[in-house]
Amino acid sequence: MRPALLALLLSVLAFLPFHLTGSPEGGRVELIKLDPKDFSPEPGREGGTLYFILSGDPKTLNPALAQETTSTAAIGPLFSGLTRLNLKTMKPEPDLAESWEVSEDGKVWTFHLRKNVRWSDGTPFTADDVIFTFNEIYYNDQIPSSTRDILTIKGKKIKVEKIDDYTVKFILPEPFAPFLNALSAEILPKHKLERYVKDGTFNTAWNVNTDPKDIVGTGPWVIKEYVKGQRIVYERNPYYWEKDEEGRSLPYITRRVGIIVSDPDTAMLKFKSGEVDYIGLRPQDIQQVARMGEDVKVYDLGSTPSTTFLVFNQNPRSKVPKYKLKWFQNRKFRVAISHAIDREGICYLVYNGLAKPLYTPVTEANRPYYDEDYYPKFEYDLEKAKKLLESIGFKDRDGDGVLEDPEGHDLEFTLITNAGNKERETIGNIVKEDLKKIGVKVHFQPIDFNNLVSRLTAPPYDWEAVIIGLTGSIDPHFGRNVWHSSGLLHMWNPRQKKPQTDWEKKVDELIDKGAVELDFEKRVKIYREAFRIITEEQPMIFIATPKSMLAAYDRFGNLFPTVWGWYEENRLFIKD
């Protein structure tokens, strides 16, 4: 048996594009399950500092360009959208927009903006900021923003028009089922960013070297200090609009410190020593937490919506040799590799049994889209894997234990993942050993996360195979940047001008059809069909979905964690 090894808890942004997340034996700990019906925040006390872990340095401080959770986790608290998700009702609610109306045909939406909102530098927020954000940033083809993917309806843009300083009209080409949820996308300040758009330098604006005081948002927090590799210090936005029932400013907590720690073991040591207030748990952490006493509460949030998977580079514009592209583009090759991955073993050996094998793009957290019996499974079967490879011409012609293709090339490839993520590093080593059993030689190479993201998302797309993960979303449309062939995170072959394969064309049609279908049951069927095709084709070989768990010191009021985020996080307060 291999030893139990590290697992990952990904942060989740429920309505943004996807981004690049009982008592165990030998210990006693109560796993708390919360019922959202019981989420009732009470008036809290102001003040205090919250300490937490950030898993890495951000790659950018510009939310329109962020493609990975290290960036979105760092800058998410600085910004707001027109709407936000209510984690109790699971429905969109007003944020920067205080109300709206929609025409009978569902195509024209009129939003009334809050008049008491200021940017964190004191500048008034108006309709000009909304118009600028959508028309000049999200719909700007020169800016590589994933948000454009989810704000595109069958290839058509939404028209955004100013009525007056506090009224904005959105004209849709067709009714759009997830529209209100899509408007949680961050609104950005025209007075700070317009000059970068005009001079063509927006794609380097608000980078990690920018003075934090220049990063201006309408969210509850501002960055006070950023020290690379050490910490990000946040202070309460003095102009944030939201107040509690007694008229006191929110958030209650006035300071946050994100300690940058990429190694999960080090992060756990900081939690145990009291340097941070809460932490996402790996299965092997449970026994350590059990020994910490009643001061620590452990929350069982259920299966995470995030996915971990292996994907091969099928991009003909990449640096991958043509003979390897031929392998990677062959469905039988990908299915063979999928059959050679021991998902059950990974669940027990990596996640300590607190995970389930995954074969599809959605997890149990995505009900009703998840149906274990509807999607095909590619169970661990080395004989079947080897026969599939033989059927497409792979044989060990020279007897060295490595298969060769019909042209004589050894069946070998380089597999990368992000260094420091021991869960993925361990999965990579398991995959390497299992594939060796069927004559596939894997060169496994963990690399820096930001370097990895650059390779995946920008030319020359210099990679062959990767183990990586994606955050999940409640509405499947918010994975459009992954599933649609034109998407920026359509990792195996991104930003296609037209679908390269017939099956991708069919998925594109279903994704676009699901976006405009207003009947919920029909939408479910449409997306299930799309996910079934993706599962059958295996462009992404999904591996496992772990249980999401959170440990926190018992010093907070209004602590309501869910697998999708914290309910009314601004009302969290330190009890004493």
Tens digits of residue pLDDT in 471-512: 888 889 889 989 999 998 999 999 999 999 999 999 999 999
Q: Which residues pair with 369 in a beta bridge?
A: none
Residue 233 pLDDT > 80? yes
Residue 250 pLDDT > 70? yes
User: pLDDT > 70: what percent of the chain?
Assistant: 95
- Give domain status of residue 266, yes or no: yes
Q: Which of these ranges, 285-299, 338-352, 531-545, has the smallest mean pLDDT? A: 285-299
pLDDT of res. 529: 98
| b/e 302-322 (16+ beta carbons within 10 angstroms → b) | ebbbbbbbbbbbbbeebebee
| 99 — pLDDT class (breaks 50, 70, 90) | very high
Residues 358 and 449 occupy one common structural domain: yes
pTM of the model: 0.76
- Give domain status of residue 283, yes or no: yes
> What confidence tens digit (pLDDT) does each residue in 190-228 have?
999 999 999 999 999 999 999 999 999 999 999 999 999
pLDDT of res. 4: 26
- Tell me how far apart the alpha carbons of residues 370 and 473 are, in angstroms, rounded to a whole number: 12
Q: How many CB atoms lie within 10 A of CB 544?
A: 22
Q: How many domains does the chain have?
A: 3
Residue type, 5: L
What is the SS3 assignment for 285? helix
- Give domain status of residue 20, yes or no: no
Residues 377 and 261 occupy one common structural domain: no
Residues 427 and 372 occupy one common structural domain: yes
Residues 189 and 317 occupy one common structural domain: no
185's CB contacts (< 8 A; 6+ apart) are: 16, 81, 133, 138, 147, 150, 151
In DSSP notation, 47-116 reads --EEEEEE-S--S-S-TTT--SHHHHHHHGGG---SEEEETTTTEEEESSEEEEEE-TTS-EEEEEE-SS
Q: Which of these ranges, 379-388, 409-418, 514-523, has the smallest mean pLDDT? A: 514-523
The range of the structural domain enclosing residue 269 comes to 31-55+220-300
pLDDT of res. 155: 86
Q: Report angle CA 189, 191, 192 to the nearest 5 degrees.
A: 70
| 28 — pLDDT class (breaks 50, 70, 90) | low
- Tell me how far apart the alpha carbons of residues 110 and 180 are, in angstroms, rounded to a whole number: 12
The average pLDDT across 38-63 equals 95
Tokens of 440: 């596939």
Q: Report angle CA 150, 154, 159 to the nearest 5 degrees.
A: 70
Residue 14 pLDDT > 60? no
The CATH code of the domain that includes 184 is 3.90.76.10
Q: Which residue has the tokens 């986790």?
A: 73
- Give domain status of residue 480, yes or no: no
Residues 387 and 420 occupy one common structural domain: yes
The average pLDDT across 539-546 equals 95
- Tell me how far apart the alpha carbons of residues 364 and 356 are, in angstroms, rounded to a whole number: 10
Residues 282 and 396 occupy one common structural domain: no
Q: CA gyration radius for the chain? A: 24
Whether omega for the bond prior to residue 264 falls within 30 degrees of 0, making it cis, is: no
Q: Does residue 17 or residue 70 have the better pLDDT?
A: 70
- Tell me how far apart the alpha carbons of residues 509 and 47 are, in angstroms, rounded to a whole number: 51
pLDDT of res. 26: 39
Residues 392 and 337 occupy one common structural domain: yes
Measured between its terminal Cα atoms, the distance across the chain in Å is 46
pLDDT of res. 226: 97
- Tell me how far apart the alpha carbons of residues 243 and 249 are, in angstroms, rounded to a whole number: 5
In DSSP notation, 143-189 reads S--THHHHTEETTEEPEEEEEETTEEEEE-SS--TTHHHHTTSPP--
- Give domain status of residue 575, yes or no: no
> What confidence tens digit (pLDDT) does each residue in 258-314 have?
999 999 899 999 999 999 999 999 878 888 898 898 899 999 998 889 899 999 999
Q: Report angle CA 73, 39, 99 to the nearest 5 degrees.
A: 70
- Tell me how far apart the alpha carbons of residues 551 and 553 are, in angstroms, rounded to a whole number: 7
Q: Does residue 378 or residue 288 have the better pLDDT?
A: 378
Q: How many CA atoms lie within 13 A of 574 on its CB side?
A: 13
pLDDT of res. 3: 29
Q: Report angle CA 446, 447, 453 to the nearest 5 degrees.
A: 120
- Tell me how far apart the alpha carbons of residues 38 and 492 are, in angstroms, rounded to a whole number: 43
Average pLDDT, the chain: 92
In DSSP notation, 91-106 reads EEEESSEEEEEE-TTS
Q: Report angle CA 441, 447, 449 to the nearest 5 degrees.
A: 135
Q: Which of these ranges, 144-153, 167-176, 499-508, 534-543, has the smallest mean pLDDT? A: 144-153
pLDDT of res. 284: 80
- Tell me how far apart the alpha carbons of residues 484 and 459 are, in angstroms, rounded to a whole number: 19
257's CB contacts (< 8 A; 6+ apart) are: 49, 50, 51, 52, 231, 232, 233, 234
The average pLDDT across 547-561 equals 95
474's CB contacts (< 8 A; 6+ apart) are: 14, 15, 85, 90, 181, 305, 366, 564
Residue 316 pLDDT > 70? yes
Q: Which residue has the tokens 């440990």?
A: 551
- Tell me how far apart the alpha carbons of residues 113 and 253 are, in angstroms, rounded to a whole number: 26
Residue type, 157: K
The average pLDDT across 66-72 equals 89
Share of the chain residues as helix, strand and coil, in percent rounded to the nearest 5: 30, 25, 50
Residues 354 and 461 occupy one common structural domain: yes
The CATH code of the domain that includes 341 is 3.10.105.10
**Cβ distance 202 to 193 under 8 Å?**
yes
C-alpha to C-alpha distances, 37 to 55, 91, 299, 559, 564, nearest whole angstrom: 31, 14, 16, 14, 15
pLDDT of res. 6: 24
C-alpha to C-alpha distances, 525 to 91, 174, 461, 519, nearest whole angstrom: 21, 20, 34, 10
> What confidence tens digit (pLDDT) does each residue in 394-447 have?
999 999 999 999 999 999 999 999 998 888 999 999 999 999 999 999 999 999
- Label the pairing between strands 49-54 and 255-260: parallel
Residues 355 and 415 occupy one common structural domain: yes
Of the candidates 259, 209, 260, the residue with the CA atom closest to the CA atom of residue 62: 209
* DSSP label of 308: E
pLDDT of res. 9: 27
- Give domain status of residue 518, yes or no: no
**Cβ distance 275 to 50 under 8 Å?**
no
The average pLDDT across 106-111 equals 96
* DSSP label of 138: I
- Tell me how far apart the alpha carbons of residues 254 and 242 are, in angstroms, rounded to a whole number: 14
| 31 — pLDDT class (breaks 50, 70, 90) | confident
Q: Which of these ranges, 114-128, 198-212, 229-243, 510-524, has the smallest mean pLDDT? A: 510-524
- Give domain status of residue 496, yes or no: no
The CATH code of the domain that includes 259 is 3.40.190.10
- Tell me how far apart the alpha carbons of residues 454 and 143 are, in angstroms, rounded to a whole number: 16
Residues 228 and 315 occupy one common structural domain: no
- Tell me how far apart the alpha carbons of residues 183 and 563 are, in angstroms, rounded to a whole number: 21
Residues 110 and 224 occupy one common structural domain: no
**Cβ distance 201 to 143 under 8 Å?**
no
pLDDT of res. 17: 53
- Give domain status of residue 212, yes or no: no
Residues 48 and 92 occupy one common structural domain: no
